Amino acid sequence: MLVVKKFGGTSVANKERIYNVCRRCAESYKNGDDVVVVLSAMGKLTDELIAKAKDINPNPSKREMDMLLTTGEQTSVALACMAFEALGIPAISLNAFQVAMHTTSAYSNARLKRIDTERIMHELDQRKIVVVTGFQGVNKYGDYTTLGRGGSDTTAVALAAALKADACEIYTDVDGVYTADPRIVKKARKMKEITYDEMLDLATLGAGVLHNRSVELAKKYGVALVVRSSLTNEEGTVVKEDVKVERMLVSGVAADKNCAKISVVGLSDKPGTAFRLFDALSQANINVDMILQSVSHDNTQDIAFTVVGDYADDAIKVIEDNKTRLKYEKVELEKGVAKVSVVGAGMMSNPGVAAKVFECMYNSNINIKMISTSEIRVTVLIDDKEVEKAMNAAHDIFGLED
Amino acid sequence: MLVVKKFGGTSVANKERIYNVCRRCAESYKNGDDVVVVLSAMGKLTDELIAKAKDINPNPSKREMDMLLTTGEQTSVALACMAFEALGIPAISLNAFQVAMHTTSAYSNARLKRIDTERIMHELDQRKIVVVTGFQGVNKYGDYTTLGRGGSDTTAVALAAALKADACEIYTDVDGVYTADPRIVKKARKMKEITYDEMLDLATLGAGVLHNRSVELAKKYGVALVVRSSLTNEEGTVVKEDVKVERMLVSGVAADKNCAKISVVGLSDKPGTAFRLFDALSQANINVDMILQSVSHDNTQDIAFTVVGDYADDAIKVIEDNKTRLKYEKVELEKGVAKVSVVGAGMMSNPGVAAKVFECMYNSNINIKMISTSEIRVTVLIDDKEVEKAMNAAHDIFGLED
């Protein structure tokens, strides 16, 4: 069996943890598996490198930043191979040039285009564990690039796809994907299986276990992902296309507290009004999430939408800067709001889920400010003080604890 | 003019020094020069990386060690380019893969075979300062290698040769090559020019300014080297094939205190005796320096030689382990000895130098234990407590202060 195993920065933060990672991989190797390990930079090393750079130049070019940051994973893979050697396991480290990992040109936020497999396959054939730098690639100019947030997950999934691996195991500090965040919902239960689409919705909505780019990639290439703990031997959660267990109506509940609601009141009710508003925001690189457009009255309408909390003030500024062009009466900002989402592939064939969500919010006396739905998701915007109550209520009403 | 400028680890040890390096290079760039900068790892970073590695595995493989250490220079070049950007100077960093620097396969002690110049020339043509990692290369397996001690000097000289540079400037913490170590000989004088061969003898004999591999390479490709200070604007010393100034008899005096003398007494005077002795030492990777073979008497002879002080005990062990094969009466070790050498291309056509050296040692009441000479060098082995006296005496007798 060929397995790609990915470990994040906390899993290789010090000597003991590096040995822990290597011992786990050695077990699999001794069972006869071909093992490819993908590592991130150690603990806080990336942050330290960024601080070093900013001290030299507050606005370094992204190219040189990538040149600097890629030393982080290279340090991890070299040290891990030294630990493998000490354990008597043949291992070899490879960076993005050595593999080679071809990406698009964009420094700091590149996308993987193609991975050469010759070198890795050659080393696996020598019965070596191959330890590969996550997060980094090489672009058409022959320069280092990095893959942005969650980049090492993406490296692991892409490698698994290129090598036609039998499994891609993502080791984290949690032991799988839960029906809800166990810190908020006490009865939350670890799922054995979940579909790519459900995982994508949970990832986007703040479950935080896997970055959505890696899930998208896994879906595209049909890579079976396993999310499991780097500390325990528990089985973890499998993310794949078809889930064999009897389809639950709802598989999980997620929350995202980093939200703000913006209402633009008294916009003229003419064609192009919404376009001009959201175009101005997109020009400023502000992503808009839920959108609510009111029925018009007196030739005016109101438009409300949510943005990531950090961008709320920027969004307000953009709207106010465009006041003469947009023509509106006033703009209102509401912070302290949160999205709670119910996700489940089973709801595609069952239209009652949304109603049930509203019912349980009503029963819990929670005011719903906005609603948005997709084929496999129902999201409500509520006061962030009510997130815990709302999540537990939804978890209960859909019987997720069983 | 195309100039290669090399700065060592202390020159880039912190933010201020990195900016100091960049400002110097920017001056040259603004004068219209094409500037290639070669950097070592920052200050003690290489030592820290070695300590990290040894903590994980006391005997890491050289391949993984090189993989780890090469992150050091990559960090330097990325940070330096960020400083250039802050100064408004276009710059780009390149590592051994990007250049590419082809070396022999030997990890930790590779030799440069070939340097591709396309990428560097392309970047210079864009009027960028090109900042290259010193000390590192890539071997035929596509793996990182390092060049061993003094590696960054070698990188700079090899780059200057490959790029047909007009000059190769080696910036150090001294401002040039002196007629003797100024800490020992007060009247020591900085030389304006020195030949490759003189520099090689001085380097080998402990002047410590340039590593001899880089001088050999400079001689082979006729690269004019300039040794100068990274802190002052003084002119430094030019190292080249022909020195224009009227040939001095002697150009410098050097000392090496890390010496030990070993005497093997009562060896049988048969053919092959010396061969067996030095073969046993060379099998153990112990380099022998000065050799003195006595006239035989009673069918036995004595052989004395010097080794680097650190290897003295190993050498004694090798000789004692081979006692039955070598057949000798006893072996004696004398520590606390030092070599003092007088070097000068001018002595080739003037046979009186050796005699003058002996004369001044005699006048200073210094006992000479061994003598060795080459075309441009006279070396005497003396008690290390007399080094200062001997160097000053030699410096005086040859009138080096003028």
3-state SS of A87-151 is: CCCCEEEECHHHHCEEECCCCCCCCEEEECCHHHHHHHHCCCEEEEECCEEECCCCCEEECCCCH
A22-26, A114-118, A177-181, B155-159: segment of lowest average pLDDT: A177-181
Q: Mean pLDDT for each 10-residue chunk of chain B (402 residues)?
A: 95 95 96 97 94 96 97 98 98 97 94 96 98 97 92 96 96 87 88 88 70 90 91 88 69 90 88 86 86 80 90 93 90 94 81 86 92 86 94 92 82
Q: For B71, which of A65, A74, A92 is closest by C-beta distance?
A: A74
Is 60 exceeded by the pLDDT of residue A367?
yes
Nearest to A333 by CA among A316, A348, A346, A317: A316
Inform me whether the pLDDT recorded for A317 exceeds 60: yes
Tokens of A123: 């080393």
Q: Which pLDDT score is estimated for A246?
A: 53
What is the pTM (predicted TM-score) of this model? 0.81
Q: Is B98 on the interface with A (CB under 8 A)?
A: yes
- Contact map slice: A 140-199 vs B, CB within 8 A: 142-143
What is the mean predicted confidence (pLDDT) over A268-297?
84
pLDDT at A206 exceeding the cut of 60: no
User: B76 touching A, CB under 8 A?
Assistant: no
- Amino acid B181: pLDDT: 86
Contact B77 A67 (CB under 8 A): yes
Domain ranges of chain B: 2-172
Distance of CA A114 to CAs A140, B98, B235, B337, B385, Å? 11, 19, 51, 62, 66
Q: Is A354 exposed, middle or buried (0-12, 13-18, 19+ CB in 10 A)?
A: middle
Identify the pLDDT of residue B247.
Answer: 60
* pLDDT band at A245; cut points 50, 70, 90: low
In the predicted structure, residue A402 carries a pLDDT above the cut 90: no
Contact between B17 and B181 (Cβ < 8 Å): no
Alpha helices in A180-322 (DSSP H): 196-204, 212-221, 273-283, 312-321
The CATH superfamily label for domain A2-172 reads Acetylglutamate kinase-like (3.40.1160.10)
Residue to substitute from B14, B48, B63, B71, interface A, most A β-carbons within 10 A: B71
Yes or no, beta carbons of B74 and A77 under 8 Å apart: no
Contact assignment for A64 to B55 by CB distance below 8 Å: no
Q: Which residues of B210-246 are buried (b: 16+ CB within 10 A; e: fewer)?
A: bbbbbbbbbbeeebebbbbbbeeeeebbbbbeebeee
Q: Is A87 on the interface with B (CB under 8 A)?
A: no
Half-sphere exposure for A140 (CA within 13 Å, toward CB): 5
Nearest by CB: B85 against A60, A81, A93:
A60
Whole-angstrom distance, CA of residue B290 vs CA of residue B381: 9
Average pLDDT over residues A123-139: 97
More confident of the two residues A95 and B193: A95
Q: Which residues on B lie below 8 Å from A131 (Cβ)?
A: none
- Give phi and psi for B11, each to the nearest 5: -70, -15
Residue of A70, A81, A98 with shortest CB distance to B142: A98
What does the pLDDT look like over A75-85, one tens digit per residue?
A: 999 999 999 99
| Nearest-angstrom CA–CA distance, B105 and A209 | 42
Q: Mean pLDDT over residues A88-95, rounded? A: 98
Count of Cβ atoms closer than 10 Å to residue B293 Cβ: 13
Residues of chain B contacting residue A59, judged by C-beta atoms under 8 Å apart: 85
Of B49, B57, B86, the CB nearest to A86: B57
Q: Write the ipTM.
A: 0.80
DSSP state of B386: G
Question: Cβ(A167)–Cβ(A160) under 8 Å?
Answer: yes
In chain A, the residue whose alpha carbon lies closest to the alpha carbon of B64 is: A78
Kindly identify which residue of chain A lies nearest to residue B67, measuring between CA atoms.
A78
* pLDDT score for B310: 86
Predicted pLDDT at A268: 83
CA distance B99 to chain A (A): 9
A245 and chain B: CB distance < 8 Å anywhere?
A: no
